[in-house]
Amino acid sequence: MKLYEFQGKEIFKKYGIPVQSGFLIHKNDEVKNLTPPLVLKSQLLVGGRGKAGGIKIWDGNTDALKIINELFSLKIKGEKVRAILALEKVDILREIYLSITFNRGKSTPVLIVGTSGGMDIEESARLNKEKIHFVEIDPFLGILEYQIRFVAKKINIGNYLEFRNIIRAVYKIFKEYDATLVEINPLAITPSGFVAIDAKVNLDDQSSFRHEELFNRLREEKEFIQDKKKVHTSKPKEDTITYVPLSGDIGLISDGAGTGLFTLDLINEYGGKVANFCEMGGITNSEVMFKSLKMVASDHSVKSILVVLIGGFNRMDDMAEGILKFKKELNKDIPIFIRMCGTKEEIGKELMKKANIPVYDSLNVAVEKTIKKAMEN
């Protein structure tokens, strides 16, 4: 299974690989509150999108909507553009190629590192063999320290520790996700450190039985990208919501399973008890936020609700709109507490403050406030 760039970067973030902040734009989405400069990247499963005009930089001097519409009108190698990833523009000092794939002749993983990031790797290897370095990895030992030092020296890396951590993270993804390819092209060196400018992740379809939940979520996201209207009409969006009933008095909603489970443990540690847990799953929108709140609030034992949002490609202004819709349409008296950070968080927080809904930067403080209110009620 080939993943879109935004899906690959979500995995990168989970493993601590630095990526640009950004959000997805779908066709016919209302585009607002954009801040230049942005890199607008067509989300496709074929290569060569840059050369075909599928990547544009918006500097604020032209109409962003015009550029976005131009990208949506493209068809590259037979594939239509149905989604665009808008990313913050970074100052690139140097580009590196980095990947782990299989040496099919030996059936072992191989680390490939080169000094020509951003170029076609096959062409670069043919023209500049001395700039591309291959390191065979023993699958029983994993990637070793001396191997990383070897390639770091060959390509003249200054920040070795960060470089090592990224390589180890790439190898961990390769193993744990049963990948056939994990590629960063380019891995950029910026004034603030390394940033994965692109992400290419291919998973072995034959391993899907080991990652059933992951494959199902990735397929749903791909179907949503490839035919948004069809998914909306044939399959209700709430299918992406995971709802777990428990036995406390606090409703918990998160935009990621890991974040939600961590928060659940934190609530228990602070002496609270969770009545139910809602994880919105993957790429979400205001409607999913609304439905999650409605689902959690339907439990009469819930005395307060905690919403934990760590937006990467989910926009916090969209999440705020879903919360406001819940408050307006259902008029529930259940107090809601928000921990919000990520894309468009300033707008999301402002919307919450105008509605007198408490929003916090600290998860610990948000948990304490939620528990206190539940005990008062």
**CA 251 to CA 276: how far, in whole Å?**
5
What mean pLDDT, rounded, does the chain reach?
Answer: 88
pLDDT under 50: residue ranges of the chain:
228-238
For the chain, the straight-line distance linking the first and the last C-alpha, in angstroms and rounded, comes to: 49
- The whole-number pLDDT of residue 267 equals 95
- The token duo for 13 is 């973030």
Read off the DSSP letter of residue 4. P
Instruction: Please state the pTM of the whole predicted model.
Output: 0.63
Q: Reduce the DSSP state of residue 352 to 3 states and report it.
A: helix
Q: Strands 79-80 and 200-203, how do they pair? A: unpaired
**Residue 268: per-residue pLDDT:** 92
pLDDT recorded at residue 259: 82
> Are domains 21-88 and 238-376 of this chain identical in fold?
no
CATH number of 94-208: 3.30.470.20
Whole-number pLDDT of residue 260: 86
Say if residues 157 and 163 touch (Cβ distance below 8 Å).
Answer: yes
Q: State residue 123 phi and psi, 5-degree precision.
A: -65, -40
pLDDT for res 236:
37
pLDDT at 81: 94
Domain 238-376 in this protein, CATH class: alpha beta
- In the chain, what are the domain boundaries? 21-88, 94-208, 238-376
Residue whose tokens read 């070897």: 150
- Sheet hosting strand 242-245, strand order edge to edge: 242-245, 274-279, 250-254, 304-311, 336-342, 359-360
Domain 21-88: state its class.
alpha beta
